[in-house]
Amino acid sequence: IDSEDDLLQECISSAMPKKK
């Protein structure tokens, strides 16, 4: 479960814009 959540979190973060 944890690793699934981590994977999901990583995926969401990867789509976020980078700090300007």
Partner 1 sequence: PTPPYLKWAESLHSLLDDQDGIQLFRTFLRQEDCADMLDFWFACSGFRKLESHEGNEEKKVKLAKAIYKKYILDNSGVVSRQIKPATKSFIKDCIGKLHVDPAMFEQAQTEIQTLMEENSYPLFLTSDVYLEHT
State the minimum distance, in angstroms, from the CB of residue 9 to partner 1: 9
State the minimum distance, in angstroms, from the CB of residue 4 to partner 1: 4
Give the residue carrying structure tokens 């994977």: 7
State whether the Cα torsion 2-10-8-13 is positive or negative: positive
* Residues from 1 through 20 that contact partner 1 (CB under 8 A): 4-5, 7-8, 10-20
* C-alpha to C-alpha distance for 5 and 3, rounded to whole angstroms: 5
* C-alpha to C-alpha distance for 4 and 19, rounded to whole angstroms: 26
State the minimum distance, in angstroms, from the CB of residue 16 to partner 1: 6
| Footprint on this chain of partner 1 (rule: CB under 8 A) | 4-5, 7-8, 10-20
